[in-house]
Chains A and B, each alone.
Chain A
């Protein structure tokens, strides 16, 4: 365990706010952030068992901690330690998505990842604005049974950029950003993917990288500079781009009531609470109704490829019910993972609230004038 994180753990006052706020601890007694941090502070080996893998790293604990103990940041390090000692994450679907990322990290891969591009989506390989697609084409193929359509967000982002007069570049040899590898403690795959992507950015030399997935913007924009090097230009999530360029975009009025699900990577990890709301309110007549737990208090979609159990389902159905109780017709999110995990939850036994879920960029592009 790295020294700095241990020092952070020593600051813990044992107040237990983290565990009271933790969405997982509410339903899964195995995980208690307080216990984990106390064990670390006392030098007890906490890196074992299900507790470590059931954490969503959503950052809810960090947001309430009065001592600023870096609980979430300790997770990938603890997990890497466990994996170095031969421990294995209890991957959902046996780790198929991890395998896709690992294959991409191993060298040149002749990917066919742009087959969904149609002529009406204007792109330009010479453009200095790069749209980072992320794993969305793979998600749509893999989660075909849940009809997730995460590419709708990418297509929406291209339409929005086109409306701003930008024809973005999309790259065929883009790799997974490595977010999931990093957070599940797979340092090697993360580092290999990061270097391949950084090499690609150096070649393309963009002025701006836009992502539709907040995990990608977090990883490219914050983790790469911390761990390796910066991609050489700003990295922005599509919600930021929209709110900065509000003057260039015009939307048709829609009498629609929506609620916004703050993705953990967008909100708590990147402090982007205002931007998506500004974006939504640019649609005339649209009414945004907040859920009681919003912004820094928002509940995560309970999705990770590390665990999916009764606690995850309970978190999801509670959140869906909360969204439905606002009276909104739509729950808008800005992360493909939220879309996948909530849709999966809804396509289960049919008892989950059936509120429609849409991506931010998809909804905005549909409302463009």
Chain B
């Protein structure tokens, strides 16, 4: 596939309290940035565990960005500390599966940082665009990526 024809599938997990609001700030401030990502709002970046990121790649994502409140600003005090721990484990697993490290990213964006959100998204989309399709894509198609029901349940 020619990289210029390549439409990357990017999943962004944004926490409700900072990053999602940061994305909103970027939007209401009319900051131009790439629309090539799908954002999923979670209550906290700490809620994003290995399986969310793994599932995204299993279903054919080319990049996953997890974004939360800055350290010290977490709405739940220490959720983002937990996010780092889980993200590191996930990255180790993905590295073993042969995924390039640049395809996953953990960032902190506050509700006021609209410009940071816009530039972060642009930067990440460019990186994924340059890397091309994920080696873990399997045979997933654009349709199956958009429509597939996520087979995931929470269990103690």
A105 nearest CB across to chain B (Å) = 8
Binds A, one of B35-43, B111-119, B132-140: B132-140
- Would you give the shortest CB distance from B64 to chain A, in whole angstroms? 13
A99 and B55 contacting across the interface, CB-CB below 8 Å: yes
Q: Report whether B135 and A108 are in contact in the complex, using a CB–CB cutoff of 8 Å.
A: yes
Q: Which residues of A contact B58 (CB under 8 A)?
A: 99, 102-103, 106
Return chain A residues, CB-CB under 8 Å to B97.
Answer: 100, 103-104, 109, 111
Q: Is A201 an interface residue (CB 8 A)?
A: no
Q: Does A142 contact B (CB under 8 A)?
A: yes
Q: Does B106 contact A (CB under 8 A)?
A: no
Q: Which of A92, A94, A109 has the most CB of B within 10 A?
A: A94
Give the chain B neighbours of A107 by CB distance below 8 A. Answer: 137-139
Chain B residues closer than 8 Å to A110, beta-carbon distance? 98, 135
Give the distance to chain A from B114, nearest Cβ to Cβ, in Å.
32
CB under 8 Å from chain A, chain B span 115-147: 135-140
Interface residues of B in 3-30 (CB under 8 A from A): none
**A interface residues, tally (CB under 8 Å):** 31
Min C-beta distance of B25 to chain A, whole Å: 31
- Knowing A96-B50, A100-B54, A107-B139, the reply to whether A307 touches B155 (Cβ < 8 A) is yes
- Tell me, rounded to whole Å, the shortest Cβ–Cβ distance linking A101 to chain B: 10
A112 close to B152 (CB less than 8 A) = no
B93 within 8 A of A: yes
Q: How far, in Å, is A135 (CB) from chain B's closest CB?
A: 10
A285 to chain B, nearest CB (A): 40
With both chains docked as a complex, state the minimum distance between the C-beta of A7 and any C-beta of chain B, in angstroms.
32
Within 8 A of B (CB), among A33-89: 88-89
B98 close to A111 (CB less than 8 A): yes
Question: Given contacts A90-B153, A102-B58, A107-B138, are A144 and B96 in contact (CB under 8 A)?
Answer: no
User: Which residues of A lie under 8 Å from residue B89 when comparing CB positions?
Assistant: 141-142, 144
Chain A, Cβ-Cβ closest to B152: A94
Q: Which residue of the partner chain B has the closest CB to A172?
A: B98
**Chain B contacts for A103, CB-based, 8 A:** 54, 57-58, 97, 136, 138
CB <8 Å contact, A142 and B50: yes
Question: Residue A309 contacts which of B136, B138, B140, B156 (CB distance < 8 angstroms)?
Answer: B156
In the complex the two chains form, is A141's CB within 8 Å of B49's CB?
no
Within 8 A of B (CB), among A269-316: 307-309
Q: Is the CB of B96 within 8 A of A94?
A: no
> A254 an interface residue at 8 Å Cβ cutoff?
no
Chain A contacts for B135, CB-based, 8 A: 108-110
Given contacts A106-B58, A109-B136, A110-B98, whether A94 and B92 have CB atoms under 8 Å apart is no
* Also in contact, A95 and B136, with CB within 8 A (given A106-B58, A141-B89, A307-B155): no
Q: Mark A115-143, 1 if CB is under 8 A from B, else 0.
A: 10000000000000000000001100110
State whether the Cβ of B31 lies closer than 8 Å to any Cβ in chain A: no
B96 lies within 8 A of A111 (CB): yes
Please tell me if B102 contacts chain A, counting CB pairs below 8 Å.
no
How far, in angstroms, from A106 to B139 measured CA to CA in the complex? 7
Give the 10 A-B residue pairs with the shortest CB-CB distance, closest first.
A106-B138, A110-B98, A99-B54, A94-B51, A141-B92, A96-B51, A96-B50, A90-B155, A107-B138, A103-B58
Extra contacts besides A88-B151, A106-B58 (11): CB < 8 Å: A88-B153, A89-B153, A93-B50, A94-B52, A95-B151, A103-B58, A103-B97, A110-B98, A138-B93, A138-B96, A141-B93
Chain A interface residues toward B at CB < 8 A: 88-96, 99-100, 102-104, 106-113, 115, 137-138, 141-142, 144, 307-309
